Amino acid sequence: MSHLLHLDASARRASFSRELSRTFAEHWRAAHPDAAYTYRDLAADPVPHIGEAWTELCDHVLEHGVTDIARYPEAARTPGQKEAWAVVEPLLAELVAADVVLIGTPMYNFSIPSSLKAWLDQVTFPRMSLAGRRFVVTAARGGAYGPGMPREPMEYQERYLRDFFKGHFAVEDVDFVTTEMVNSLIDPALAHRQDEHRVSRAAALRRAEEVAGR
């Protein structure tokens, strides 16, 4: 049975990345009425940042060549390590159970929110593989960072996540659905570019529906 894990990371409750992730989720669930669905709001219910005990779990997995995710609990030996594992375990279980992972994220300061980075840190261990799973990222950006734009070299949102999924999870099946120029709605200096945003948003909503039908 298919299982969708849906994560949102925007600090805004009414955000464009949430709108896009919701659109994907609604259409995907309509196309898979018997599928399981898990939702986690990383902004409303933040995941703690990793601490030293987590690094000890990571070191144990690396030192002993553990690649089977089911064996990760063996790394938790001390009280501190067991406490760290108690944070990791439910997050990792949700991730492993899913065959489709949906992440709604804004661009903050050229990259991703710390709430999403904290989640990625908690669920990532050396040489783990999530090959065979599909990732979908619905993203929003205040400016324009697409190909040929002046700020393209500063785009560390999609580039970072794509490299992360491939480098750490061995996942290459990744779709990005992005709307840009959202700051044109509030920044007087960008008001003349509101039409760009409207076109971008409409295209992203259509793309979210299309990608959900895969």
State yes or no: 183 annotated in a binding site. no
- End-to-end CA separation in angstroms for the chain: 16
Rounded to whole angstroms, the Cα distance separating 29 from 2 reads 10
Antiparallel, parallel or unpaired: β 174-179 and 100-106: unpaired
Tokens 């990744």 — which residue? 174
Find out whether 154 is annotated in a ligand binding site: no
Distance of CA 30 to the CA centre of its chain: 22
Distance CA 90, CA 75 (A): 16
Is 108 annotated as belonging to a binding site? yes
The rounded distance, in Å, linking the Cα atoms of 65 and 71 is 11
Q: Is 176 annotated as a binding residue?
A: no
User: Would you say 160 is a known binding-site residue?
Assistant: no
Is 16 labeled as ligand-binding? yes
Tokens (6 digits) for 93:
């279980």
107 annotated to a ligand binding site: yes
- 109 has binding-site annotation: yes
Chain centroid to CA 99: 14
Which tokens belong to 89? 């375990």
Residue ranges of the binding site: 10, 15-17, 107-110
Residue ranges of the binding site for FMN: 10, 15-17, 107-110
